[in-house]
Amino acid sequence: MSSRPELKIDWATHDAAKYAVENWHYSKCMPCGKMNAVGVWEAGKFIGTVLFSRGANHNIGRPYGLTQTEVVELTRVALTKHAATVTRIVSLAFRFIKKKSPGIRLCVSYADPEQGHIGVIYQAGNWVYSGRSHAQQAVIHAGAVMHKRTAQSLFGTIKGMKKSQVLWKHKYLMPLDPEMRKQIEPLRKPYPKRVRSVDSDTSGDQPEMGGANPTRTLSVSEGESL
């Protein structure tokens, strides 16, 4: 039996994360706000990024009694072709960011039904499904639906953009310490079932491109092999 290719997790530069999102994620755009870009290398090749940020909702931690510094949103998983499962990659990204920021207690993420996604990778990772998010006002730019704060950040204005009222999403929670697990676990609801097979544990709608280093990827001198 052949061994799995070595995975290396480290901070990625903004340029590397941007390249991964624009080329390997269906949204083709970076989220707004402050973010932490975790880079992923497999067998020495840069294969993408896992982005954690505060997201568009500034009160994301309030329902759980958490401050802004205690909760993050997993906003992008942008990967090219890879051998490891997305579930393993995300799990290692969690270990890395928790080590670097031990005060983080909860991660929130969303699966977009408009893209046919139900959150298969979250289900495989034993995230807590808490149901549908509240409907959010969004706008449409060049055929892409995005949160109005994201559009405002990217383009400076939302004037002239069409409004969309459709954006509820499947909401998933990942507690990062035992006490938070006890608090969050009672919120668990049955996982939504797959309707059509477009949500996968690989790259989803992302093209299977490259695997070479598209730009300077590391923001520090050495990575962490896991």
User: pLDDT confidence of 217, banded at 50, 70, 90?
Assistant: low
- Look up tokens 């929130």; give the residue: 108
Look at residue 198 and tell me whether its pLDDT is greater than 50: no
180: exposed, middle or buried (C-beta count within 10 Å: 0-12, 13-18, 19+)? Answer: buried
pTM of the predicted model as reported, rounded to 2 decimal places: 0.73
**Segments making up each domain of the chain, as ranges:** 7-133+168-225, 134-167
Helices marked H in the chain: 14-24, 86-100, 120-124, 148-155, 178-184
State whether CATH 3.40.630.30 applies to domain 7-133+168-225: yes
Q: Which two tokens stand for residue 56?
A: 């568009």
Look at residue 208 and tell me whether its pLDDT is greater than 90: no
pLDDT tens track for 168-181: 789 999 999 999 99
